[in-house]
Structure 1
Amino acid sequence: MREVLHNDCKELNDIGDNKFIIRHTGLGKTPITSSSQVDYLFNRMFGLIYIFLGDKIGKKSDLTVKQEIREDKVIDEF
């Protein structure tokens, strides 16, 4: 699975940088012509990010939460 994810990262990077007109215009790049193509690329990237983040999605990071104790209660503050 690690090799599959590595290859997918490389392919998505190549798509974003070199093959398609996403961030920059240029000669020899393929334009994205429909919203369904944008949706496909978005969902493919989202799936990759989701698998890397795993069960951390939707949870507060330990780095951004400051715990304060008041009257035997723990209160999370940002």
Structure 2
Amino acid sequence: MYSRALKTVSTAKTRIERAFGPEAVRQMKATAGRDIAVGGADLAAQAIRAGLVDECRLFVTPIVIEAAKASSPPACA
């Protein structure tokens, strides 16, 4: 887990790293035996620049903005 703010982890298999280290990730990737997920734009960018990313899966999460046009007439709300 890469985090500057997190103080503790919830499992014994998890450790906190404060700074991204490409070589450490290469070692994890070589010994993991399964996929490693990267979340967050800054961390993903560092992993891509370091040549560590084999595949990208982008998730689109719609959000509701209060000032946006209503999807239904006021009488239906």
Q: TM-score normalized by structure 2?
A: 0.27
Q: Whose RCO is larger (CA < 8 A, sep 6+)?
A: 2
The structure number with the bigger radius of gyration is 1
The structure richer in strand per residue is: 1
The structure richer in helix per residue is: 1
Q: TM-score normalized by structure 1?
A: 0.26
